A = this chain, B = another copy of it.
Amino acid sequence: MGRTSDAKEKILTAARSLIEQRGYVALGVAEICKTAGVPKGSFYYFFESKEALALAVIDEHWAAERSDWTRILGSDAEPLERLRQLFEATQASQQAGKETCGAISGCMFGNLSLEMSNQTEAVRARLQEIFEAQAEMVGAVIDEARARGEVAVTDTRAAAQSVVAQLEGQVLFAKLYNATSPLTTLWANCLALLGARVPAQV
């Protein structure tokens, strides 16, 4: 069992890395297995299709990211401060990715939304669930800030989606310019979108 679960993990790791570098559509099962160093038979033992692998990669990536988001957004810090920390963590993670791989890979969910959402309904549905969950997590923090009178928001759901949209848009620019500098405006933009007081330094 040790060996087979190693093989599954190797396939997932190789697929995640290849998807981050080159997207999903261009990948073939043979290349994934070659990168993972496992025989092709192993692939179909664990995954019934390339789409099933994509869903597993998405799920694994979201489990890790959700755990980060939960830790940051569920902390004891003040609500708006938690949102600031989320943007800081995003910037740090993109910067770390750049130092490891030489290129900013952006947001896997945003990348796959634009690459795949018109092609596989299963992936589209999964990505919708993830962005819904992100908007809910951000929305819960916005509601706390609303209760404290710190923001001027009338529709929490729409405001949360706008904050996530701003994040995705600036991550797109970070990837395009291969620089994290577009992410430095996220905090001020979030405050503006929520009708909160913008700090003096912005």
Contacts and interface: CB of A to CB of B under 8 A. Distances in A.
A173 B193 contact: no
Interface residues of A, number: 46
A118 interface: yes
User: How many copies altogether?
Assistant: 2
Binding site secondary structure of chain A? helix
Interface stretch (A69-77, A79-87, A138-146, A163-171): A163-171
Given A26-B25, A182-B161, A202-B154, A114 B192 contact: no
Given A158-B185, A169-B164, A192-B192, A117 B22 contact: no
Interface of A: 21-23, 25-26, 103, 105-106, 110-111, 113-115, 117-119, 124, 127-128, 131, 154, 158, 161-162, 164-170, 172-173, 175-178, 182, 185, 189, 192-195, 198, 202
